[in-house]
Structure 1
Amino acid sequence: MTTALGTFKDRARKALGDKTLKTALDRTTGNARVKRAAAVAAWPDFDRARAAAAAIKDHALAHFPHYLEQFERNALASGAKIHWARDAKEACAAVIDICRQAKAKTATRSKSMLGEEIGLPDALAEAGIRRVETDLAEHIIQLAGETPSHIIWPAAHRTREDVSKLFQQHHRDHLLLTEVEAMVASARHELRDDFFGAEVGISGANFLVAETGAICTITNEGNAELTTTPPRVHIVTAGIEKIVATTEHALQLTRLLVRSATGADLTQYTTFHCGPKRAGDRDGPEEFHIVLVDHGRTQMLEEMPDMLRCVRCGACLNHCVVYRKIGGHAYGGAYPGPMGAALTPIFDGLEPSRDLPHACTLNGMCKQVCPVDIPLPTLLRDWRAKSFRQGFESPALRRGLALWALVASKPRLYRAALALALPLLRRRGKDGWIAALPFTPGWTQSRDFPTPAKKTFLAQIESGEQA
């Protein structure tokens, strides 16, 4: 996939040489993996809950039209206004139209990956509407002029030192702060006036509850509540795959989502919004709009329904050995990591994004940690096969694969090739590592390759060394 910053390979190569990025990713994803492991270990029924969560999502998807219609009916009864959008253009147009009707000059926005997916930040800017990101990490990357690099921690690529410099440059207090608490206080001071002065607040939704017509948001900072409650108009943008049948189902999924995302039992704020402010309510918006977005979801229901189970927890990113080396921006789309490699070909087409499914070791860790058991390695292999069938791979790669298939399908030829190659590789090694390999610079450009063992795995099996 090519962007203004080049191809995926260009971006990955640049990321691999960025030591600061490596430090930031190690801090964020390492902490997330430790916390998730502890949360799962403390929950004896995690596997059963995981199977139940997958079943909940599959049930909703199997009855997609019924539950979407039920949600619309109940949401309208609560006083909400529903807008259906077939694609990103229609979704952005609906949001902009609502903002203009509200005569909004400023819109606060709570973190929403769907907003990034449909290009809402750019649409607001083109419409002349000032956008204020209220999530702390989103605020950081807005100051830096960047896009999110992680779906849970959008500023995962930024170190504390980076953030301190950004705040000194852009915040009104202009202080070079070193403590996290002080930086949070500075951001709170910077955003407070916008929370209460914006005409419109825009949020996403973690779940759409069919039985009540409510939407559910799950956050840790409280910024979502300040984004959705004080403004006169609240706009929700949500993918139609967020639908669940009941509140109980939403809460069951929440238990898995939170543990998989942050390792906590619950987030600080789990809020159900159901319609605008009613008579007697102390607060809440006067208008409540829900923009329901397809943007490829119907196509996914036919081609890869498993991906519609995704609850956007980010666990697959935190455990992906590729993401942890190159970060999110290298992927070029709204969604990075294994989930992005599976989703981006749907949104942007396979030909321009075919490198993403290939950027995977297929070690299966993403499936192992997914709270709704999405078979991501299988989906990525399917994209690779489809890319090959449609002729998107280079002639050199096709010839190489044909040669590999020939060798791998003939045991004697395979063993002869190994017998020839392994001694040559061992001679290039030093202290157990190979610093460079001919014709395969990608393997050793940013890492050393382990020197092969003296005996192949097959030989070790036959001799009884491996059991």
Structure 2
Amino acid sequence: MEEATLSFKARAERALADPTLKIAIDRTTGTAERKRAVAMSQFPQFEAARERGKRIKDHVIANLDHYLLEFERNAIASGAKVYWAATAEEASQIVVRLCKEAGAKRVTRVKSMLGEEIGLPHALDEAGIERVETDLAEHIVQLGGDRPSHIVWPSMHRTREQVSEMFKRLHRAPHQEETIEAMVDSARRELRDKFLSADVAISGANFLLADTGATCTVTNEGNAELTTTPPRVHIVTAGIEKLVPSMGHAIAMLRLLVRSATGADVTQYTTFHCGPKQAGDRDGPEEFHIVLVDNGRSRMLREGMKEMLRCIRCGACMNHCVVFRQLGGHVYGGTYPGPMGAVLTPVFDGLEKSRDLPHACTMNGKCQEVCPVAIPLPTLLRGWRDRSWREGLEPAVVRFGLGIHTFVASHPRLYRLGTAIAVRVMRLFSRGGLVRGMPGLGAWTAYREFPAPAKRTFMEMVKDQENTR
């Protein structure tokens, strides 16, 4: 059965049964968590920087129409061509059309979650255009026929041992030594001639600068620069929320993005593209196209989810999420995994198809704690839960059970009697302080133990204290 047709629960069970996946997740998210902690300890201005980043994004979102028009005007003045796409399908159609008009046989692509969101890889493949993913992790994903499982480390679901076997099987000149350096060299040999022979380059943008019409890309491998420079045509796809007013604001956001994403002070490569090659330039594309994508963002603004438009795609929320770190990214079923994905996927795919995602959250608040722009992710997830209830999407058994709970909880004497009985029954099933199995608790104890309750209910203990006083 194809993964896309499986339910969230079925995907979760499959992930939990895969010990190699757990090793891969722990290696990546554990390293990311430790590096971020070190970066934050050496960045005492983080809270002040986070507040500034939040204000910058909120200001842009409140004045989005102004900055979009300013960006378009300045981008066109630099020689770029700007296109507007209301939907994912429209955006991918524009890109494919531009590739065909350029006579492209081969395109190189820089890692871009927006590209994944609009289905661009599939659209290019269907159009018969050779697509070359140039980011090392995306190269691994492409070779494996996978989908990205993380927005910063797309191939985090694979161990280096699995990658080594894949490279040996699929690269023309594979590595001979089992080292990271040798595997990277193997990928470099595989991709080098494709960088230089591509007709079109496609990238995303971490930020769009309204005052100059420039786009900004951030990478650690240099593949973005090598991708976007040699081809005749460079196409940028970007969500409309990526805007910042100026270079100074972009630098302020970069201080937050890099530390939160990789734990570094600055990435290896931060590049600003502003229009096509000009007279006197030694290199650069002859054509520069920018596709600005809405795809639900305006609706988020209208429907009370504007805080999510602050997101700068750093991945910190998923690196610290207890659910993501057990299951990985593919379980979420959409483009974006983790807490941010649990908020965004209902926007793109509809709540009816993805209502399990908000319910999978433990609401421990760690995602909001580490978010560099202080997005209230638990609040937004609770909003989806509330909407799911109001729209009648919850299963009948859940609605029935909550109806009974509501009735009992609204009658104090009945509630106290029920909890007193439940506490004593649960203790009958406890062994060593844990309940490992009990009728009615199967959904919980199938994966974890339930702590045995105290001998008496909280209200009984409070009453005893009052009597003692």
1:177 Cα deviation after fit: 4.5
Which residue number corresponds to residue 328 of structure 1? 329
**Correspondence for 2:114:** 114
Q: Does 1:101 align with 2:97?
A: no
Amino acid at match of 2:409: A
Whether 1:130 and 2:141 are equivalent positions in the alignment is no
Moved more, 334-343 or 32-41: 32-41
In 1, distance between residues paired with 2:168 and 2:365?
A: 42
Tell me by how many angstroms 1:409 deviates.
3.6
User: C-alpha separation between the residues in 2 aligned to 1:4 and 1:89?
Assistant: 19
Q: Give yes or no for contact 2:113–2:335 (8 Å, CA) kept in 1.
A: yes
- Aligned-partner Cα distance in 1 for 2:239–2:232: 23
Contact 1:433-1:449 within 8 A present in 2 as well: yes
Match of 1:161 in 2: 161
Q: Residues 176 and 381 from structure 1, CA distance in 2 versus in 1: closer, same or farther, beyond 3 angstroms?
A: farther
Alpha-carbon displacement from aligned partner over 1:232-279 (angstroms, at most 9, x marks no partner):
111100000101111111110110111111111111111111011111
Determine if contact 2:173/2:189 at 8 Å carries over to the other structure.
Answer: no
> Which residue pairs with 1:293 in the alignment?
293
Shift of 1:450: 2.6
Cα pair 1:17 1:446 within 8 Å, conserved: no
Distance 2:42 2:421 in 1: 50
Residue pairs, 1:61-210, within 5 angstroms? 61-175=61-175, 177-210=177-210
* Cα deviations by residue, 1:89-144 (Å, 9 ceiling, x for unpaired): 11011101111111111111110000110100000000000111111110111110
**Secondary structure at 2:4's aligned position in 1?**
coil
Cα distance in structure 1, aligned partners of 2:217 and 2:438: 50
Instruction: For residues 8-67 of structure 1, give each alpha carbon's deviation from its aligned partner in whole angstroms, at most 9, with x where no partner exists.
Output: 111111111111111111111111111111211221121111111110000001111110
Write the deviation string for residues 394-414 of structure 1: whole angstroms up to 9, x where unpaired. 111001111222333444433
Determine the structure 2 residue equivalent to 1:387. 388
Cα distance in 1 for partners of 2:166, 2:3 equals 25
Gap runs ≥5 in structure 2: none
Pairs within 5 Å for 1:240-389: 240-303=240-303, 304-389=305-390
Instruction: Please state whether the residue corresponding to 1:342 is helix, strand or coil.
Output: helix
CA contact (8 A) 1:165 1:176 kept: no
* Residues 463 and 37 (structure 1), Cα distance of their counterparts in 2 relative to 1, 3 Å cut: farther
The one-letter amino acid of 2:439's match is P
Contact 2:32 2:263 in 1 (8 A): yes
Matches of 1:461 and 1:321 in 2, distance apart?
A: 33
Deviations 1:396-435 (A, max 9, x none): 1001111222333444433332222223222322223332
Alpha-carbon distance in structure 2 between the residues aligned to 1:358 and 1:392: 12
Q: Secondary structure of 2:236's partner?
A: strand
Q: Write the distance in 2 (CA, Å) between the matches of 1:95 and 1:128.
A: 13
Q: Which residue of structure 2 aligns with residue 403 of structure 1?
A: 404
TM-score (normalised: structure 1): 0.96
Change (3 A) 1:320 1:456: farther
Tell me what 1:423 maps to: 424
8 A Cα contact 1:16 1:446, kept in partner: no
| CA RMSD of superposed structures (Å) | 1.6
Aligned residue identity for 2:211: E
> What is aligned with 1:218?
218
The whole-number CA distance in structure 2 between the counterparts of 1:43 and 1:455 is 48
1:174 deviates by 3.9
Partner of 2:227: 227
Tell me which amino acid in the other structure corresponds to 1:155: S
CA distance in 2, matches of 1:412, 1:241: 52
Q: For 1:4, what is the secondary structure of its paired residue?
A: helix
User: What are the ranges of 5 or more consecutive residues in structure 1 without an aligned counterpart?
Assistant: none
Q: 2:444 aligned with 1:433, yes or no?
A: no
Deviation at 1:7, TM superposition (A): 1.1
The equivalent residue for 1:59 is 59
